[in-house]
Structure 1
Amino acid sequence: MKLLDIYFSLKSDIDAVERRLLDEVHTSQRPLKKASAHLLKAGGKRIRPVFVLLAGKFGTYDLERLSRVAASLELIHMASLVHDDVIDDASVRRGTPTVKAEWGNRMAMYTGDFIFARALRLLSDIPNLEVHQLLSKSIVSMCEGEIEQIRDFYNVDQNLRTYLRRIKRKTALLLSISCELGALVAECPRPVVRALERYGYYAGMAFQIIDDILDLTSTAAKLGKPVGSDLRQGNLTLPVLYALRHSPDRQRLRTLIHPEITDSEAIEAIEIVNRSGGLEYAAALADRYMEKCLAVLDKLPKIEARRQLEGIAHFINERDH
């Protein structure tokens, strides 16, 4: 099943989520409205809203409630991207200038805070205490993960466990909570809620590892940002960590990774990583997460939504951008 077919089957409901997103970034403050709209128009895969909607198919499907959850989680994701771009000093995302690049750090931070607040307000009408408790816990964990990432910038001595905890909090957690909250709002049976939560977690871990591989192997045109952006910004991903331990040139690589890294040093570092076996190691780990992701689907009822979730998992594993 192709990803476009899945999105097309959900088009009217995704459109409802998009309308909510547009409504939520509206404000009488023109600079804030322009910055928020700029971020929204930059687009994205909208995979979190799709996970919410598909999870809802396993229970009582109420688009009014599910679209609130879907839009809220996408807004939280958007807010985190704005803050990330300030922290990473990023000028381009998805091929377009970042809010930080267009309006500066201060406006970017206010925009992120505004979007985040809108997300919480939008979800406040959901009368389910467990939804709010789970989301609050997840947001705390995400923030802790961001602090850990900043702490470990350019740290060549960090280990695999640190990396896995970081990507869980950075990516997998929000995908996992998208599936879980969609299922809870749809009043799915507990075993179904748990299986969907696990699906989102495993898919999220694979998604981020593949992202980290593509950051080193894809093109700037496909990525919408410079190749090796993570390495240049000091965010050391799995292929780099592998190379730092197993490459014959690991000592040279250690000297290349520093806060003032130049373009030529970044290119040399990427070359060392790419021939170290780190890409293959990372791909094998992503495959293991994807196997777990697909296996947990066997615990779900055999409905069309399950087939669509399987299709998304295959897309995640095979994508090139």
Structure 2
Amino acid sequence: MDFRQVYEQYQHDLQEIDNILGTSMESENALLAGSSRQLLAAGGKRIRPLFALLCSELGKMSEKQSVHRLAASVELVHMASLVHDDVIDDATVRRGHPTVRAQYGNRPAMYTGDFLFARAIRLLSSLSNMSLHVEMSNAIVRMTEGEIDQIRDFYDLGQPLKKYLRRIERKTALLISVSCSLGAVVGGAPAAAVKAARRFGYFTGMAFQVIDDILDFSGTESLVGKPVGNDLWQGNITYPALYTAQCTAQGAQLRNLVSPTMTRDDLNAAVALVRESGALEQANQLASRYLDKALVILRGLDESSTRRSLEVVARFVNQRMF
């Protein structure tokens, strides 16, 4: 079984989730409705809803409607964070489409993100389990703290590795972890399985973001959906740049290039330095270590088709090219 087969197996569920997302984006305000629908039309891998669906099967409840609402709520939080990210980063392209801020401007984009957060909370309120609300609200708080940390650390090539790891934990790993744990909760899984799902999601999410950071240097715009080196251009210092700056012979050159006043020629030279430094190979090793930890946790669960599907999706995260 490969990722495509797992994805196709849940295609009906994912379509139901997309329908809920579409309904959640309806508004009497034409600008809010239009900007939200633009984000939905841009698509996405729907990795978080897929994890929620899979982990719901660790329990014995068959209430798919509740799982769909939970999965859509998580995706709305993710989409809201992307809109805000694009404003912070002055991004013009995401997933190969113009960003909301590029199409509508920064202020409407910020309110669109707020609107999507509110819709996520309203959708989640249709589920009565209080633990869902506590975990999700705590996650949103920590995600926000992570975004502030990212702004604080812009262009800082001297920051310690632990800052980067804490940042990607809050930026990405946390919401994937929540997708898994809350999916298990809604599915009626026992406490031990919920805990395992949460930890599996955390380690998978860490691998996911490290791979994203690699693709920012090694991918192409047609595959990744945004310009190569975009993170570095915006001042977001990821592991490949950190490793190059602090651990390789190219470090001094990179530090001289990266600054708020860098030019596109400087960026192209910086990307070339990172590629030749061996940092991408080191980053791949870091992602593989996180993946291995996720797979160890899976092996503690009972053998099942769900466990095998979770492993397939986790491996895809670590091998994808987009």
Instruction: Quote the residue 2:30 is aligned against.
Output: 30
Residue 316 of structure 2 aligns with an amino acid whose one-letter code is F
CA distance in 2, matches of 1:13, 1:243: 43
Instruction: State TM-score, norm by structure 2.
Output: 0.98
Instruction: Quote the residue 2:78 is aligned against.
Output: 77
CA contact (8 A) 1:73 1:119 kept: yes
Instruction: State TM-score, norm by structure 1.
Output: 0.98
**Does residue 48 of structure 2 align to residue 48 of structure 1?**
yes
Residue 288 of structure 2 aligns with an amino acid whose one-letter code is D
**Does residue 12 of structure 2 align to residue 12 of structure 1?**
yes
Instruction: Quote the residue 2:139 is aligned against.
Output: 138
Secondary structure of 1:158's partner? coil
| CA root-mean-square deviation | 0.9
Residue 37 of structure 1 aligns with an amino acid whose one-letter code is R
Residue 224 of structure 1 aligns with an amino acid whose one-letter code is G
Instruction: Quote the residue 1:238 is aligned against.
Output: 239
CA contact (8 A) 1:220 1:226 kept: yes
CA distance in 1, matches of 2:104, 2:22: 20
Instruction: Quote the residue 2:87 is aligned against.
Output: 86
CA contact (8 A) 2:204 2:317 kept: yes
Instruction: Quote the residue 2:302 is aligned against.
Output: 301
CA distance in 2, matches of 1:297, 1:75: 27
1:45-72 deviations in Å (ceiling 9; x for gaps) = 0011011111111111311111111000
How far off is 1:140 after superposition?
Answer: 0.7
CA distance in 2, matches of 1:216, 1:144: 26
Residue 58 of structure 1 aligns with an amino acid whose one-letter code is L
Residue 39 of structure 1 aligns with an amino acid whose one-letter code is L
CA distance in 1, matches of 2:252, 2:315: 37
CA contact (8 A) 1:48 1:175 kept: yes
Residue 66 of structure 1 aligns with an amino acid whose one-letter code is V
Instruction: Quote the residue 1:99 is aligned against.
Output: 100
CA distance in 2, matches of 1:124, 1:117: 11
> What is the 5 A alignment of 1:1-321?
1-59=1-59, 60-321=61-322
CA distance in 2, matches of 1:92, 1:28: 27
CA distance in 1, matches of 2:180, 2:247: 37
CA distance in 1, matches of 2:221, 2:47: 22
1:133-190 deviations in Å (ceiling 9; x for gaps) = 1111111110000000000000121111000000000000000000000111112111
CA distance in 1, matches of 2:219, 2:53: 30
CA contact (8 A) 2:74 2:120 kept: yes
CA distance in 1, matches of 2:206, 2:273: 25
CA distance in 2, matches of 1:200, 1:249: 34
Residue 32 of structure 2 aligns with an amino acid whose one-letter code is L
Residue identity (%): 50
CA distance in 2, matches of 1:49, 1:248: 42
How far off is 1:217 after superposition?
Answer: 0.6
The runs of at least 4 aligned residues of structure 1 exceeding 4 Å deviation read: none
Report which stretch shifted further, 189-198 or 295-304.
Answer: 295-304
How far off is 1:317 after superposition?
Answer: 1.4
CA distance in 1, matches of 2:268, 2:32: 37
CA contact (8 A) 2:240 2:283 kept: yes
Residue 294 of structure 1 aligns with an amino acid whose one-letter code is L
1:96-151 deviations in Å (ceiling 9; x for gaps) = 00000000001101111101100000001211111111111111110000000000
CA distance in 2, matches of 1:140, 1:280: 33
How far off is 1:301 after superposition?
Answer: 2.0
How far off is 1:247 after superposition?
Answer: 2.0
Question: How many residues matched?
Answer: 321
CA distance in 2, matches of 1:21, 1:157: 41
CA distance in 2, matches of 1:154, 1:256: 10
CA distance in 1, matches of 2:246, 2:190: 45
Secondary structure of 1:182's partner? helix
CA contact (8 A) 2:206 2:287 kept: yes
How far off is 1:277 after superposition?
Answer: 1.7
